[in-house]
Amino acid sequence: MEIFENVQFNILFLIKKIYKIYIFVKNFYIAQKILLKNRINQLKNKINQIKNKIKNKKNCLFAILNLDNSNINDFVLNFTTRIYNEMLDINYSTFYPNLVKNLDEKSVECVDNIISKIKVVAEDNIFENKRIFTFRELLQIKKVRLDFFFNLKRINENCCKYKNYLLPINHFEASVFYYKHNIESLNKDNFKNKDIIDVGAFICDSAIVFSPYTTGNIYSFEPTTKNYDLIQKTLTLNPEFRNIKPVKKALGSKNETQLIHVLDSCSSINNVFLNMEHNLETIEITTLDDFVSENNLNNIGLIKVDVEGFEQEFLKGAINTIKSQKPTLLLSIYHSADDFFNIKSIIENLNLNYKFKIVKPVDGSVCLETLLICEQA
């Protein structure tokens, strides 16, 4: 009887022990489940915080890029659509191979990038940076905005500043002052002791950037009275650039007078900005060949041309100078599809042993400021 009672006691003790273990395991499981659930919630919250942070940074990025500036976007959309419509009339199978022939890999990539962006903008009929540019391009645009546009300063009503450059109006372009027309990538020995021809000088913004790169003179051609008067103010604000010689003429294919559509930096004989308000002015046009001959200029090292679609007319009147002196050429090719596809062939057909590059500054536009660089090999 006593043995039975001891066994019964031990069994009850064991059952209680097992029950306590069960309760412990159960409570431990519940506790771990709660901890795991809390941990999952914490991770979810952290992920949401990261998502929100990325979203906020992205919104900040697009805010910095001024994506909602409808005036700029409408201008780019209209300009790009016009280029696209012109491209539809181009024999692409003939002109594209000629354009990319003898270009380096980066230049071909630049050409393809421009063409694809033009197509997207025109066919979708909308200009939206988030849809057009890669994230890397957006970061570069952000860098330009932060490093360049946020560092522009207005000294007073008649003086604006970027670094050591002063202008009489607040018109600093990234392609000129930030990218410097890609002059740093050029062989500067080709023009460091030679004259520079600046065709389409505007207010001598390019000229004051070029000035330190040569001991020669810079001849800046600007035919409109308004811009020429501003040139005088630019030179007064920057007296250290003594090698700049302004010329109140346009350069074309022959000596003549013509009407020009006056629109600040976009003043144009061809008027490639038909939908924008402008005034008209009669201007004097000469040829580079005549100007070079009349002034005995036999040491030209660099020619920069940005004349709003009049580039091919300029080249007709500059062929002898280009052939005889073989200067480095910086030619704008973005004002029309004809310029984009044909200007390179015009220079290439001269057989002057030029090597070619096509560059487009990352500045938030699709094709504006596209540059053909022709440099002696």
Residue 210 CA to residue 286 CA, distance in Å, equals: 23
Structure confidence at residue 37 (pLDDT):
78
* 84 membership: H or E segment, kind and range: helix 70-88
Going by pLDDT thresholds of 50, 70 and 90, the confidence category of residue 3 is: low
Structure confidence at residue 178 (pLDDT):
96
Reported as a single tens digit per residue, the pLDDT across 353-366 is 999 999 999 988 89
Q: DSSP E strands: which ranges in 138-263?
A: 153-156, 159-162, 165-167, 195-199, 218-221, 244-247, 250-251, 256-262
Going by pLDDT thresholds of 50, 70 and 90, the confidence category of residue 13 is: low
> Helix, strand, or coil here: 160?
strand
pLDDT tops 60 at residue 323? yes
Going by pLDDT thresholds of 50, 70 and 90, the confidence category of residue 209 is: very high
Backbone angles phi, psi at 248, to 5 degrees: -85, 70
102 residue type, one letter: N
Residue 145 CA to residue 48 CA, distance in Å, equals: 29
pLDDT tops 90 at residue 45? no
Q: pLDDT above 70 covers what percent of the chain?
A: 86
Going by pLDDT thresholds of 50, 70 and 90, the confidence category of residue 181 is: very high
Q: How many CB atoms lie within 10 A of CB 224?
A: 20
Q: pLDDT above 90 covers what percent of the chain?
A: 62
Whole-model pTM: value is 0.80
Choose between 55 and 94: higher pLDDT.
Answer: 94
Q: Going by CATH, does the domain composed of 69-376 fall within 3.40.50.150?
A: yes
Going by pLDDT thresholds of 50, 70 and 90, the confidence category of residue 67 is: very low
To 10 degrees, what angle do helices 70-88 and 105-124 make?
Answer: 110
Average pLDDT over residues 89-107: 92
Residue 57 CA to residue 7 CA, distance in Å, equals: 73
To 10 degrees, what angle do helices 2-64 and 135-147 make?
Answer: 60
Residue 377 CA to residue 374 CA, distance in Å, equals: 9
Choose between 262 and 215: higher pLDDT.
Answer: 215
Average pLDDT over residues 154-167: 95
> Helix, strand, or coil here: 196?
strand
pLDDT tops 60 at residue 274? no
Q: How many CB atoms lie within 10 A of CB 166?
A: 18
Going by pLDDT thresholds of 50, 70 and 90, the confidence category of residue 126 is: confident
Structure confidence at residue 180 (pLDDT):
97
Structure confidence at residue 234 (pLDDT):
98
pLDDT tops 70 at residue 4? no
Structure confidence at residue 74 (pLDDT):
75
